[in-house]
Amino acid sequence: MEIPLLKDILIIFGLSIAVVFICHRLRVPAIVGYLLTGVLAGPHGLGLIARVHEVEILAEVGVVLLLFTVGIEFSLRNLLQIKRSVLIGGSFQVLLTLFAGFILAEQFGQTFGESLFIGFLISLSSTAIVLKLLQDRAEIDSPHGQTSLAILIFQDVIIVPMMLFTPLLTGATGSLSQSFLILSAKGIGIVLLVFIGARWIVPQLMYQIARTRSRELFLLSIVVICLAVAWLTHRAGLSLALGAFLAGLIISESEYGHQALGSIVPFRDVFTSFFFISIGMLLSVAFVLQRPGLIALIAFAVLTGKAVLAACATMLLGFPLRTTILVGLALCQIGEFSFILSKTGVEHGLLAASIYQLFLAVSVLTMAVTPFIIALAPRITDAALRLPLPRRLRSGLYPVAGRSSVANIEYLRDHLIIIGFGLNGRNVARSAKVAGIQHVIIEINPETVRTEKSKGEPIFFGDATQEAVLKHAKIETARVLVAVISDPTATRRIIAMARRLNPKVHVIARSRFLQEMRPLYELGANEVIPEEFETSVEIFTRVLIRYLIPRDEIEKFSAEVRADGYEIFRSASRESTSFSDLELNLPDIEISSFRVSQESAHVGKTLAEIELRKKYGVTLLALRRDSEIFSNPDADTRLRADDVLVLLGQPSKIAAITSLFHNLDDGKKSLLM
């Protein structure tokens, strides 16, 4: 029996491989390749695909999985941290764009209802494209990434009232207030379900699933949770994508989020490609060829207008000019939910056939150029910052100087400057505080600054890519500068500027990408810490310890790896040097530590009386008493309570004496070190 959909899927994948391969050779983003595949394979192109509706269903699954993975990488805690950006930034972006679209549509002779509906369509941006690009560039945790995500979340929610309001634009009446009440009740119920699921249900369920150690069962459970929450939100009148995002948030609150992410990513990538292909299928090539100039002009106006308005909304949140421009350029396209909304408009007569095709052409074009715009965004931002703009505009609505929780900032000398107050920045600041090192923190998120300043942190608001901000932190007299931000372009600019302002400052930078190391060193960084390779060094160090490699050789190995630019992890051809004789180690020997309890029968006895080697077949290597360590202690040494014994022997012998230094009557056995 022939399966028509299988043939269509085969055609889509075969054609997309060829198109995406050509795009890769031409250094064109894969998303553009998928859009071109849809245009070629669709009914308006070569007509290779007849079942466009079935492909759109697969595309919906792709959007669901994409938002699910975004939710996993996010968390409820992070969502609460950006609630201000969601409510204020999102509402201002949508309202400003909606109003601008409404005014322009009226100028071209559209009716009030049609103009307002066109404003609805233009105000939404592409969650799928923007988040995928930000994830690929590892910028989802950057200030502009977080703000873009916040505004996109608001857009995904506001689509529901827009769809409810659309029939009224044609003069249709109905119980709109009743619909909103029902929707609100369902929304509250879903929020409660998410909270209860994240707090109690899912962690317990996943714990029981994980105990089985069945990869298949784990994957099925993850998929069921994702689809179940997405289905519930869809039944409540909300979008599938929003439900998938909430499902990801639920999983992220458990300890199984990373495993779930690794299991679902391959499926996400496959189905997400269907989404972009399905968008390309909607476009009529003949219509585009008839009006290329008009389509390009409107697309340019949409991209420019949306970028400016999104930047204005971000500026109202207090972010500096750099972040506002990056957010504006990220959100300048028309989104996938606009396609869903446009179908509702067509059904109610708000979009004529020609206007609908014009909307599709402009939307696809804005989506296609988005990868290029986001790639060029750092350069565009740097060019804008060179303009003679007012200092208040460049630094944001919050003043750089003025109020500061740093005592006597004017007199700081030999201090530490920490740029970025994420997880790494907090750890560095905590360590500096413990060590008694004077430090000052620069953070670009005004909400973080306000919160941490109230706690007494020496933090102030500012964009560290600006010379005035670094000077305010007294870069000229600083000893060390640590840049731990999730923005590779900003990191490069900061290092170059810091090196110019203070040639003697020791610059340490964090990098997520290996290819960033060399440019950062060339710009003047003294040390660059790539996250993935530092993790590899730490793991392999633990491995070497278990193989009883001497500490000095381990330290020599770690230093050699770092000095060599982590080349050992990038090349399999490197010959072993210090550890070429690992096979000569003793795999059947174990070293363990035991603490002598108060109730042990051996307290007060000498080592000679206990006869560890003769009776138990183990050797005492060292004894730790309080803060002192006695290597190879004398046979006359008497044991005391809380002494720690370091013993060497075969694993079976070590296991047999586990209870030797504890109370033998209470049946409690514990290996304490």
Which helix (H) or strand (E) element contains residue 594? strand 590-595
Residues 247 and 146 in one domain: yes
Q: What are phi and psi of 617, to 5 degrees?
A: 75, 25
Q: Residue 188 class from Cβ within 10 Å (0-12 exposed, 13-18 middle, 19+ buried)?
A: exposed
Determine the average pLDDT of the residues in 334-341: 82
How far apart are the C-alpha atoms of 345 and 497, rounded to whole Å? 52
First to last CA, the chain: 65
Residues 403 and 337 in one domain: no
Q: Per residue, what are the HEC states of 14-62?
A: HHHHHHHHHHHHCCCCHHHHHHHHHHHHCCCCCCCCCCHHHHHHHHHHH
Determine the average pLDDT of the residues in 318-330: 91
pLDDT at 579: 39
CATH number, residue 435: 3.40.50.720
* 141 occurs within a structural domain: yes
Domain of 569? 533-583
Domain end: 385, 411, 428, which one?
Answer: 385
Residue pLDDT, tens place only, 572-616: 444 444 433 433 345 566 777 788 888 888 888 898 888 888 888
Residue pLDDT, tens place only, 532-564: 666 667 777 777 776 656 666 677 777 777 666
Residue pLDDT, tens place only, 142-195: 888 889 989 998 887 787 678 767 777 776 555 555 666 776 677 678 778 777
Three-state DSSP at 589 gives coil
* 672 occurs within a structural domain: no
* 133 occurs within a structural domain: yes
Contact 478, 505 (CB under 8 A): yes
Residues 219 and 101 in one domain: yes
| Residue whose entry in the numeric block shows the structure tokens 């930000």 | 134
Residues 17 and 84 in one domain: yes
Share of the chain above pLDDT 70, in %: 85
Residue pLDDT, tens place only, 468-508: 889 889 999 999 999 998 888 889 999 999 999 999 999 99
Which tokens go with 643? 């002494």
pLDDT at 177: 58
Long-range contacts of 523-528 (CB under 8 A, 24+ apart): 523/492, 523/495, 523/496, 523/499, 524/495, 524/496, 524/498, 524/499, 525/495
pLDDT at 532: 63
Cα 600 versus chain centre, distance = 51
pLDDT at 480: 92
* 662 occurs within a structural domain: no
Determine the average pLDDT of the residues in 634-661: 82
Handedness of CA 410, 411, 415, 421 (dihedral sign): negative
Residues 465 and 327 in one domain: no
Residues 517 and 379 in one domain: no
pLDDT tops 80 at residue 515: no
* 663 occurs within a structural domain: no
* 671 occurs within a structural domain: no
pLDDT at 348: 80
How far apart are the C-alpha atoms of 505 and 470, rounded to whole Å? 12
Determine the average pLDDT of the residues in 361-384: 90
Residues 497 and 372 in one domain: no
Short-list 221, 204, 230, 227, CA closest to 259: 221
Question: Total domain count for the chain?
Answer: 4
Give the helix ranges, DSSP H, for 291-352: 292-316, 321-330, 336-347
CATH number, residue 45: 1.20.1530.20
Residues 6+ apart with CB under 8 A from 524: 495, 496, 498, 499, 507
Single pTM value for the model = 0.66
Short-list 376, 373, 369, CA closest to 32: 369
Domain end: 489, 509, 525, which one?
Answer: 525
Contact 439, 367 (CB under 8 A): no
Residues 610 and 490 in one domain: no
E strand map for 402-519:
416-419, 439-443, 459-461, 480-483, 506-511
Residues 23 and 142 in one domain: yes
Beta bridge pairs of residue 625: 628
Residue pLDDT, tens place only, 49-87: 877 777 778 777 877 887 787 778 666 666 777 888 888
pLDDT at 670: 34
Domain end: 563, 583, 603, which one?
Answer: 583
* 442 occurs within a structural domain: yes
pLDDT tops 90 at residue 350: no
Residues 479 and 568 in one domain: no
* 551 occurs within a structural domain: yes
CA angle, 492 then 494 then 496, to 5°: 70
Residues 349 and 211 in one domain: yes
pLDDT at 667: 34
Q: What are phi and psi of 236, to 5 degrees?
A: -85, 0
Determine the average pLDDT of the residues in 294-314: 94
Residues 518 and 562 in one domain: no
Determine the average pLDDT of the residues in 259-277: 79
Contact 364, 295 (CB under 8 A): no
